[in-house]
Structure 1
Amino acid sequence: MTVFSSDNRDSAAYPLQSLFVPFPFVCFTLTLGTDLAFWLSDGHLMWQNFSSWLLFAGLVFGGVAIVAGLLDMLRPRTRPLRPAFLTIVIYIVILALAFLNSLVHAGDGWTAVVPYGLAISVVTFILSVFAAAISARKYSRLAWRI
């Protein structure tokens, strides 16, 4: 009988944080989309509610991802797959901006989204793309052993 598993302890374990990190990126990107829809629809409140809920979901999953990342720090087998320090800092800045954006979106009507909420959503999206690019570069180097 052939056994397909090995006892090789040198292989890397899959980090838990990788399960939760994509959710905030998707939620914050969709928040930008719903903020744009709010702006283009001349203030239809449904889009503001969608933005608020997306920010809430992104912050909840972001908090879970941070806890999972801290648990991954305790696991030595996840060391090769840990994100770079710059990525961690950008991720925390993204969550702080999203929390600020959530406070801005808590207001009523047009002024809760258009001048500042939309700008914070754009900055959050740009930082998310930047963090994903840095992370992808590290993982591609790891995969290709460069």
Structure 2
Amino acid sequence: MAATANRLYRWSLHPLHAVLLAATLTLFLAALLSDIAYGESYEVQWTNFASWLIAGGLVFGAFAFLWALIDLIRADDRRGRPLVYFLLVLATWVLGFINALIHAKDVWASMPDGLILSAIVVVLAVAATWIGFSTLREGATR
């Protein structure tokens, strides 16, 4: 019993939270690829597709953000990994929302800002996913 009293809080993702986070990354990455395809072909449908993918990424990202907020509140130590993860998910969602607003403009007006923001959002989503999936293991130190 005494050994369990000194154990560190093991911050890890719940499987459903992991699915939400992975879906967010996948949708934002697909939106970036759609923006690149538009830049290569100037086919308007690619930008429409990117807009829908960004909207989907925002939906999944909102649930991942709420889950990250709950994990941050429940964490014994609100510094370190839970805080960094929370801030990355928040930054991903906020910039993703701004990207959605840019993609809502005329297709000619949304480029290259939409492409640049899509790339930034994907980098933030990759960082959040990396931090989210790398957890402390039994016996590990902070």
1:145 and 2:106 equivalent? no
- TM-score norm. by structure 2 comes to 0.75
Counterpart of 2:3 in structure 1 is: none
For the 8 Å contact 1:17–1:66, the answer to whether it is kept is no
Residue 88 of structure 2 aligns to which amino acid in structure 1?
A: I
Gaps of 5+ in 2: 1-6
What is the alpha-carbon distance in structure 2 between the residues aligned to residue 109 and residue 127 of structure 1?
24
2:13–2:132: 8 Å Cα contact kept in structure 1? Answer: no
Structure-2 residue corresponding to 1:5: none
Higher Cα Rg: structure 1 or 2?
Answer: 1
Contact 2:96 2:121 survives alignment (8 Å):
yes
User: 1: distance between equivalents of 2:118 and 2:51?
Assistant: 12
Residue number among 114, 119, 133 corresponding to 2:130 in the alignment: 133
- Distance, in Å, in 2 between the alignment partners of 1:133 and 1:104 is 27
Aligned residue pair count: 131
User: Would the aligned equivalents of 2:69 and 2:86 in 1 still touch at CA under 8 Å?
Assistant: no
- TM-score normalised over the length of structure 1: 0.73
Q: Secondary structure at the match of 1:27?
A: helix
1:97-108 matches, within 5 Å, as: 97-108=95-106
Pairing of 1:1-146 with structure 2 (within 5 A): 15=14, 16-41=16-41, 43-72=42-71, 84-112=82-110, 114-136=111-133, 138-139=134-135, 141-142=136-137, 145=140
Residue 53 of structure 1 aligns with an amino acid whose one-letter code is W
Amino acid at match of 1:22: A
Kept in 2: contact 1:34–1:48 (CA 8 A): yes
- Taking only aligned residues, the RMSD between alpha carbons, in angstroms, comes to 3.0
Mark the CA change 1:55 to 1:143 in structure 2 (over 3 Å): closer, same or farther.
farther
Percent identity over the alignment is 29
Structure 1: gaps of 5 or more residues: 1-9
TM-superposed CA distance for 1:57, in Å, is 0.5
